Amino acid sequence: MPESTAIIPIKIDSDKRKQNIEIALKFLLEHTDFDIIVTEADLEQKFNNNICNSDRIQYFFEKSSDFHRTRLINQMLHKVKTPVTVNYDADVFLRPESYIVAQHLILHKNYDLIYPYGFEQYDQRMIDVDANLDKFKTTLNISDIPISSIKVGFCRFGHIQFFKTKSYRDGFMENENYRHWCPEDEERGFRFKNLGYNVGWFKNIVFHQEHPPSPLNEPINKDEIYKLHYNLLKMNKDELVNYYKKQEYLKKYD
């Protein structure tokens, strides 16, 4: 039985995004034994799950003009039955051994949250939009990614997070007051540290497949969101607990 479930919210807004999702899912199926939950939110279904046909993938479609990412993640988290949950962006993958290391740290080293890369210390390698990935798409072997298509960046809180499922839920899940693309990755990281959970990073590289700019790159209520965001970052443990216990969205998942 698998110990981890990857939860992946998607909205296919370009052909490149569709390709990225297919690669990420095939990579997970090839290199892990994870269960996978995918939820697509859009006005029409665009994801063809026959491409990645597997009984390890649960696929859900929500007809909506609103890609409320944090809510979609919470809905999937509520369905998870494994002790580890992996909050997984649709455009990323890791070296195969990194999935094993991160899961081990959660299950056997008493971590509540693991980021499988270094905090502003180690490279994030990002695949360019125009990269020739034909061989890699067939083999799913990282060594088949052309060196010329890779550039260096850095990570802090996004891309992939491994959670102890109980801690993820007890730590108030995703904050559904963040909508579309927002700084929710940063808030989540600060929150779990400030609440006293055991949070760690380890030296590693995360591969991010580039894509055209999304129309969801900025929230409609940006000023309101950032005001909330900076207030949350300043809260201590007691203030955070008091704030989150008042949030209506949590009642849906009792």
Which pLDDT does position 48 carry in this prediction?
79
Per-residue pLDDT tens for 154-209?
788 989 999 999 999 999 999 999 987 679 999 999 999 999 999 999 888 888 88
DSSP 8-state assignment for residue 143: G
Give the amino acid at 143.
S
**What is the average pLDDT across 23-46?**
95
Q: pLDDT at residue 214 above 90?
A: no
Separation of alpha carbons 176 and 69, rounded Å: 8
Separation of alpha carbons 104 and 3, rounded Å: 10
Q: pLDDT at residue 133 above 70?
A: yes
Q: pLDDT at residue 122 above 70?
A: no
Separation of alpha carbons 239 and 218, rounded Å: 28
Which pLDDT does position 50 carry in this prediction?
67
Cα 170 to Cα 8, 164, 165, 196: the distances in Å are 20, 10, 9, 12
Burial of 51 (0-12, 13-18, 19+ CB in 10 A): exposed
Q: Whole-model pTM? A: 0.94
The full DSSP string for 13-34 is -SHHHHHHHHHHHHHHHHH---
Do the strands 150-153 and 124-127 form a parallel or antiparallel pair, or are they unpaired?
Answer: antiparallel
Separation of alpha carbons 137 and 185, rounded Å: 29
Q: What is the four-CA torsion angle of 80, 85, 88, 94, rounded to 10 degrees?
A: -140
Which pLDDT does position 251 carry in this prediction?
93
Give the amino acid at 214.
S
Sequence-distant (6+) residues with CB within 8 A of 117 are: 124, 155, 159, 201, 202, 203, 204, 205, 206
Per-residue pLDDT tens for 72-118?
999 999 999 999 999 999 999 999 999 999 999 999 999 999 999 98
Which pLDDT does position 126 carry in this prediction?
60
**What is the average pLDDT across 119-143?**
73
Look at residue 92 and give its three-state secondary structure.
strand
Tokens representing residue 216 in the block: 């969801």
Separation of alpha carbons 136 and 81, rounded Å: 32
The mean pLDDT value of the chain amounts to: 89
Confidence of residue 3 (pLDDT cuts 50, 70, 90): very high
Confidence of residue 49 (pLDDT cuts 50, 70, 90): low
The answer to whether the beta carbons of residues 60 and 72 sit under 8 Å apart is no
Per-residue pLDDT tens for 18-32?
988 999 999 999 999
Cα 195 to Cα 62, 67, 166: the distances in Å are 32, 28, 14
Q: pLDDT at residue 124 above 60?
A: no
Which pLDDT does position 218 carry in this prediction?
61
Confidence of residue 51 (pLDDT cuts 50, 70, 90): low
Residue 20 has phi, psi (to 5 degrees) of -60, -45
Q: pLDDT at residue 10 above 80?
A: yes
Per-residue pLDDT tens for 143-169?
888 887 787 777 889 899 999 999 999
The answer to whether the beta carbons of residues 86 and 34 sit under 8 Å apart is yes
Q: What are the structural domains, with CATH classification, of the chain?
A: 4-253 (3.90.550.10)
